């Protein structure tokens, strides 16, 4: 018997699409974070983050087919990420997570991971 992945349990592609779209709506209006994103159009960044999260939670591995190994710390080196950037990132992610209306246990599992991952990517502590 195959176990249902967290990806499937929370609603698959559509759930991650909504999460990441809401997140980037916040980022697009954020004076601290927006300048960090190199591309004028945030669609590509949205695709990459969604693809990564889909893969991480057990969905299709399109992200690695297109981008290779995630190596998230290395890929964030070009961006100065201090506590303020981390907290701003998490604020928009929190809006995204809450917009999903997931059952409490699923919401907690997703959120705890995002908090942990965001803390691990701080590369310029104050």
Q: Tell me which residues touch ligand HEM (CB under 6 A).
A: 33, 36-39, 44-45, 48-49, 52, 67, 72, 75-76, 79, 81, 85-86, 89, 114, 117-118, 121
Least spacing, CB of residue 101 vs ligand HEM, in Å: 21
**Residue positions forming the annotated binding site for heme:** 119
CB atoms within 10 A of CB 76: 16
In the bound complex, what is the minimum distance in angstroms from residue 75's beta carbon to ligand HEM?
Answer: 4
Taking the C-alpha atoms of residue 51 and residue 59, their distance in angstroms, rounded to an integer, is 9
Residues 91-116, buried b or exposed e (16+ Cβ, 10 A)? ebbeebbeebebeeebeeebbeebee
> Smaller CB distance to ligand HEM: residue 9 or 90?
90
Shortest Å, Cβ 123 to ligand HEM: 9
């Amino acid at each position: 018997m195959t176990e249902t992945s967290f990806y499937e349990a929370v609603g698959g592609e559509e759930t991650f699409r909504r999460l990441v779209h809401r997140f980037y709506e916040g980022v697009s209006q954020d004076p601290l974070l927006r300048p960090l994103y190199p591309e004028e159009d945030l669609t590509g960044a949205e695709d990459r983050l969604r693809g990564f999260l889909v893969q991480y939670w057990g969905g299709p591995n399109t992200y690695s087919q297109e981008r290779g190994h995630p190596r998230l710390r290395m890929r964030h080196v070009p961006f100065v990420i201090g506590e303020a950037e981390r907290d701003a990132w998490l604020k928009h992610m929190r809006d995204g997570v809450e917009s999903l209306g997931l059952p409490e246990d699923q919401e907690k599992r997703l959120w705890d991971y995002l908090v942990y991952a965001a803390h691990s990517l701080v590369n310029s502590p104050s």
